Each structure stands twice: as structure tokens, then as C-alpha cells.
Amino acid sequence: MIPIRDTAARRGFPLITILLIVANVLVFLYQQMLSPEQIYEFIYTYGTVPAELTAGIAQFFRSGFKLPLLLPAALPLVTANFLHGGWLHLIGNMIYLWIFGDNVEDRLGHLSFLVTYLLMGAGSQLFHVFTAPEGQIPLVGASGAIAGVLGAYFVLFPRARVLTLLPLGFFITFVHIPAVVFLAFWFILQLINATAQGLAMGVQPVAWWAHVGGFLIGIIVGVVKRRERLRYYRE
């Protein structure tokens, strides 16, 4: 299923959503200018390597909570959200960010959305690291942060509908699907893949648990924001 547009109206200009998309595209274009050796070093430096992060956290606690020892290991929790492994990875993420991000930004506000987006991205990666603390493969991509956006949208815009491109064998059709159904199906698919990955042997190319974790974090964000809105109207 490929989302085309949604029916949730926005009031303001989605400045942060656009800037995030531009930043992701520019970083990816920069990656294309690197040699294979440089790309390898770039990904391992700015992507989140679970084993390096867990080692950094352990060193942080052993040192008596000296923050400078934690920062180098924790920085990729932010930078990894702007790296992608290929054009399809990038385009797919940016489509979802554009369709669902503008409405969440509209509800949260520009600065709050930016901070929340980065925190959801970091949190989703920690969720993945928890499931594979000794992993050596760098975690890259905006998928976890965008999963958080989807989770927040799921709570904040339950009545919206999503125009969806739906392949049916040799045929392609467009259907309007309630956002709660579209996003619930998306989440269930991530959960199934994450569970299957845990049962399978060998390396999997997608950090499904980061998607699951990001979506759950986004739901929490949506619930908190919705309660704030209800409290405001009651007062």
C-alpha cells in the first residue's frame, strides 16, 4: 500500500516537515558523492551501531556519569535519522513523512514537532538496540522517527482517510482507507516482520523493532497531546 494523500486539513505551513525532507535528500546526495570506502566510514561513524552504543553507555556509568564519554556514542541516535541505504529507502520514507508529518506538525507546533521527531527517532533506535545490544550493523534511516509520526497521527487524526495506491495482482487501484485502518495494518505488518526476524537465523536488512518502538512512542505523544487539547477546551 502506497499512501498518496490524506484528508486531514492543516492550518499552517509545514516548515519543519519540508526542512526535514530537504535535509534527508541533501545528506543522501552527499552520500552518493563518496567513494565506497568513504561511505563505509560515513555510515559507521554517523549510523547507530548497537554494540558501540551499549559500550558507550556502560563506560558512562563506570566513569561516574561523565557526559563527554557518552556523547560520541549517543550522537548517532540523531544523525542516523538522516542517513539512508538507497533511493527506495529514502523515497518511501519521505512520502510517509510528507503525507502524515504536516498534520502532526500542525498539531504540535513547529519547534515541538522538530524536538519530538528527533526524540522519537532516538527512542526507536534504542528500542532496536535493546533487542540486539551486541549488533555490529549500523542502524540508518528516518523510518523509526517517521513511525513515531504515524503513531501520533493514529491518535490525533482518527477520522482522517488516506487515498491509497493498492496493487491487486496485475491491477492497480486507488481506494480511500480510514487512517486508523491504514496505520493499524502498517503497525501489525511491522510487528509480524519483527517477530519473524527474531525467529529467523541470519542478518535481516530492516530494523523492524525500531519501527514498532517508534510507533508506540508516537502513540504516547499523541495521547499526551490529545489530553492537553481536551483539557484546554474544558477550561
Domain ranges of the chain: 2-234
Reduced to 3 DSSP states, what percent helix, strand and coil does the chain have, rounded to the nearest 5?
Answer: 70, 10, 20
**Minimum mean pLDDT range among 19-23, 165-169, 185-189, 200-204:** 200-204
- Residue 72 pLDDT level (bands cut at 50, 70, 90): confident
Count other Cβ atoms within 10 Å, centred on residue 10.
14
Q: Average per-residue pLDDT in the chain?
A: 90
3-state secondary structure at position 182: helix
Smallest Cα–Cα separation from 44: which of 143, 137, 144, 122?
A: 137
Question: For the residues 199-215, what does the mean pLDDT come to?
Answer: 77
CA distances from 132 to 51, 99, 181, 209, 210 (A): 8, 31, 30, 10, 11
Q: Which set of grid coordinates corresponds to residue 196? A: 519473524
pLDDT for 82-94, tens place per residue?
999 899 999 999 9
User: What local confidence, expressed as pLDDT, does residue 230 receive?
Assistant: 63
Give the CATH H-level superfamily of domain 2-234.
Rhomboid-like (1.20.1540.10)
CA distances from 140 to 50, 109, 112, 154, 232 (A): 11, 26, 23, 24, 38
Please classify residue 76 by burial: count the beta carbons closer than 10 Å to its beta carbon, then call 0-12 exposed, 13-18 middle and 19+ buried.
buried
pLDDT(201) > 70: no
pLDDT for 98-124, tens place per residue?
999 999 999 999 999 999 999 999 999
- Return all residues near 94 (Cβ < 8 A) that are at least 6 apart: 21, 24, 25, 142
pLDDT for 125-181, tens place per residue?
999 999 888 888 999 999 999 999 999 999 999 999 999 998 877 788 899 999 999
Q: What is the pTM of this model?
A: 0.92
User: What local confidence, expressed as pLDDT, does residue 121 receive?
Assistant: 97
